[in-house]
Structure 1
Amino acid sequence: MSTSTKFTIHEDWTVVILGFLIIGISLFIFLPEVPFFKWTNGTDLINNVFEIKNLQTIGLQFIYFLLIGIIGTFLVGKSVRNFILAFPIIYFLTLIALILAGNAKIKALNLEAVIFSLIIGLIIGNLFKLPEWFRSALSTELFVKIGLVLLGSTVIFSDILKAGSLGLIQALVVVLSVWYFAFWLCRKLKIDDELTLMISSAVSICGVSAAIATSGAIKGDSKKLSYVISIVLVTAIPMMIFMPMIAKYFNFPEEVTGAWLGGSIDTSGAVVASGTLVGETALKISTIVKFSQNVLLGIVAFAISIYWTYTHNKSGEALESKPSLYVIWERFPKFVIGFIGASIVFSFFITPETRETVKESLKNIQGLWFALAFTSIGLETNFKDLLQNNSKKPLITFLIAQLFNIIITLIIAFLLFSK
């Protein structure tokens, strides 16, 4: 009896194809409009967010994402029919998250859409028993990695040079010192390897994006990823509020404050918000320092994937001997190549004017892929997995590592930026 072989492409190569397909469409064919989600009250919500033209933009965006998702689902060999049935539900739930995050009061707290996506997904996933066909249609990894490839389009080499040597030096010193401290602390507290790497990257580089990239590099558990992301987003809020207050109380120079905020607060949005509270100079330097850290994301993801290949096999057990170059290549997360490729294209082959034209649209597309991913993570995660007793250790570790991050970054900021 003969069996037909189904055509499939490895998921990591699929996301590289889809990422560059989206970039190509944006540059040469069709630039999707960015829907409007900002609102302050009920009237504003009805007149702006639910306005006919904006609803048409949202509808067009839905079709766009559905088509890209169908192509991806087909290429990785999953059921296209199940995806077509499940995606409208995932998109609708994500839309609710985007609307909630668009509220002025929520924005003032700097709560990002992904945290609402995760919460909504968790509520639905825990209140209702989802059918198996629906769960199998959740394409969490696909959504996350497409977003990561598109994230590469924001890492522009000319901007890195403009950031200046001081910002780059601080970023390098902070990332290395904080990463290794967090890694050492996790080892001491006997936290598992996946959480160790996610926590170390999240606390030292750029929070959410770093945790996602690290999880992708090691093919990590999405439940552990959602836990780390939740800690990052919740921790960023008090840091964003109290660090500028501390800086003003002790009369830190604005340049030092900016470098301190940019080097220690984990989310870019919270960095901008806190820098704005201090002043224009602090805002500029905090943004430069944070961006310099973000640049290291691709390098760290590459290094982590090599480390993981050398120390773990596919079942997560330690390897007794070093793998060959072929094995390293086979297990290497190809989305990192997409991330670096997008960065090279936008750094050297795209004019600044074109970059400026497509920047907002691509950033919106990237953010929506991440939001869709976290809705999916919530839907497939049980509360018990997030709230189990042994989850206290990673939380304690993250908070201690973050405190170390705050202290060491302040010292380095004074050394480099104090006149």
Structure 2
Amino acid sequence: AIAACGAIQGDKKKLSYVTSLVLIVAVPMMIVMPWIVRATGMPDAVGGAWLGGTLDTSGSVVAAGALISEPALKAGVIVKFSQNVLIGVAAFLLSVWWTFRQRAEGGERPRARVIWDRFPKFVLGFLVTSAVFSFVLDAATVSTTKGTLNGLRTVWFALAFTCIGLETRFTELVSMGRGRPAAAFLAAQAFNVVWTLLLAYLLFGGVLFPAPLLR
């Protein structure tokens, strides 16, 4: 949501609205979904992939996966981080599309500078940091810094979402657009839960590929 809003230079109030919806829905899901995985005897890898593809924040995926098992946590993290890597590609394509759309509507000429200005720069930091920790630094260094970086991540995420909460009014979540945006989000999330479960079984349940060995 943040990357998309930056790409189209969207309304920050609407960004806060969408982010609040995501967080509100994620809280009960991260409690109920692990219980469903355990109650149904779902394979841990399938359950973790289901969480990773359905829960919309990395923190909720980690928390929910930890409630099941270590293999479920690893599967969830693999799926969620794979989605995160695609944020850069999606943000770039959205920036290009929106720039040309504005030009078609009589806006500024679609130049590389315009696309760069619209592109959310934090995505570059995410991609560069991920590449460095994945391919440049050795495992010992990554392990040594992991605890400190996780602590910083928690603090900054807490501050960011606290600021979002300061701008959010629950009455507005219901009243905005007569509740239609919220209803559309809930309907899409319900479809996503079912569709992602099917994909999780196909990809992590040994149907299309051998079931991964996660320990």
Q: TM-score scaled to structure 2, two decimals? A: 0.77
Instruction: Provide the C-alpha distance between the structure 2 equivalents of 1:373 and 1:282, rounded to a whole number of angstroms.
Output: 28
Aligned 8 A contact 2:49 2:79 in 1:
yes
> What residue is the counterpart of 1:352 in the other structure?
139
> What residue is the counterpart of 1:104 in the other structure?
none
CA distance 1:402–1:220, shift in 2 (3 Å): same
Q: What does the per-residue CA deviation read over 1:307-358, in whole Å, with 9 as the maximum and x for residues that have no partner? A: 2222236xxx945797233433344333333333333333343333223333
Deviation at 1:399, TM superposition (A): 0.7
Pairwise CA RMSD of aligned residues? 3.0
Deviation at 1:369, TM superposition (A): 3.7
One-letter code of the match for 1:229? T
Instruction: Provide the C-alpha distance between the structure 2 equivalents of 1:366 and 1:244, rounded to a whole number of angstroms.
Output: 24
Aligned residue for 2:89, secondary structure, equals helix
> Are residues 1:215 and 2:5 paired?
yes
Instruction: Provide the C-alpha distance between the structure 2 equivalents of 1:265 and 1:322, rounded to a whole number of angstroms.
Output: 38
Instruction: Provide the C-alpha distance between the structure 2 equivalents of 1:240 and 1:321, rounded to a whole number of angstroms.
Output: 44
> Are residues 1:392 and 2:182 paired?
no
CA distance 1:221–1:289, shift in 2 (3 Å): same
> Are residues 1:415 and 2:198 paired?
no
> Are residues 1:287 and 2:73 paired?
no
CA distance 1:382–1:300, shift in 2 (3 Å): closer
Aligned 8 A contact 1:223 1:385 in 2:
no
Deviation at 1:265, TM superposition (A): 1.6
CA distance 1:331–1:268, shift in 2 (3 Å): closer
Deviation at 1:403, TM superposition (A): 0.9
Aligned residue for 1:296, secondary structure, equals helix
Instruction: Provide the C-alpha distance between the structure 1 equivalents of 2:67 and 2:121, rounded to a whole number of angstroms.
Output: 40
Instruction: Provide the C-alpha distance between the structure 2 equivalents of 1:222 and 1:390, rounded to a whole number of angstroms.
Output: 16
Instruction: Provide the C-alpha distance between the structure 1 equivalents of 2:196 and 2:143, rounded to a whole number of angstroms.
Output: 32
Aligned 8 A contact 1:222 1:377 in 2:
no
CA distance 1:335–1:284, shift in 2 (3 Å): closer
> Are residues 1:336 and 2:126 paired?
no
CA distance 1:218–1:271, shift in 2 (3 Å): same
Deviation at 1:229, TM superposition (A): 1.5
> What residue is the counterpart of 2:36 in the other structure?
246
Instruction: Provide the C-alpha distance between the structure 2 equivalents of 1:378 and 1:253, rounded to a whole number of angstroms.
Output: 36
Gaps of 5+ in 2: 207-215
Aligned 8 A contact 1:302 1:336 in 2:
no
Instruction: Provide the C-alpha distance between the structure 2 equivalents of 1:222 and 1:355, rounded to a whole number of angstroms.
Output: 35
Q: Which has the larger radius of gyration?
A: 1
Deviation at 1:401, TM superposition (A): 0.9
The count of corresponding residues between Structure 1 and Structure 2 is 205
Instruction: Provide the C-alpha distance between the structure 2 equivalents of 1:370 and 1:250, rounded to a whole number of angstroms.
Output: 33
Aligned 8 A contact 2:6 2:118 in 1:
no
> What residue is the counterpart of 2:114 in the other structure?
327
Deviation at 1:257, TM superposition (A): 1.7
Deviation at 1:285, TM superposition (A): 1.7
Deviation at 1:366, TM superposition (A): 4.0
CA distance 1:280–1:364, shift in 2 (3 Å): closer
Q: What does the per-residue CA deviation read over 1:351-384, in whole Å, with 9 as the maximum and x for residues that have no partner? A: 33223333333343344344444444555x4747
Aligned 8 A contact 2:48 2:72 in 1:
yes
Instruction: Provide the C-alpha distance between the structure 2 equivalents of 1:354 and 1:340, rounded to a whole number of angstroms.
Output: 19
Q: What does the per-residue CA deviation read over 1:372-406, in whole Å, with 9 as the maximum and x for residues that have no partner? A: 44444555x47476554416122111111111111
Instruction: Provide the C-alpha distance between the structure 2 equivalents of 1:287 and 1:395, rounded to a whole number of angstroms.
Output: 27
Identity %: 52
CA distance 1:263–1:242, shift in 2 (3 Å): same
> What residue is the counterpart of 2:210 in the other structure?
none
Instruction: Provide the C-alpha distance between the structure 2 equivalents of 1:387 and 1:273, rounded to a whole number of angstroms.
Output: 28
Q: TM-score scaled to structure 1, two decimals? A: 0.43
Gaps of 5+ in 1: 1-210
Q: Within 5 Å, which residues of 2 pair with 1:155-304?
A: 211-304=1-94
Aligned 8 A contact 1:226 1:374 in 2:
no
Aligned 8 A contact 2:173 2:182 in 1:
no
One-letter code of the match for 1:342? T
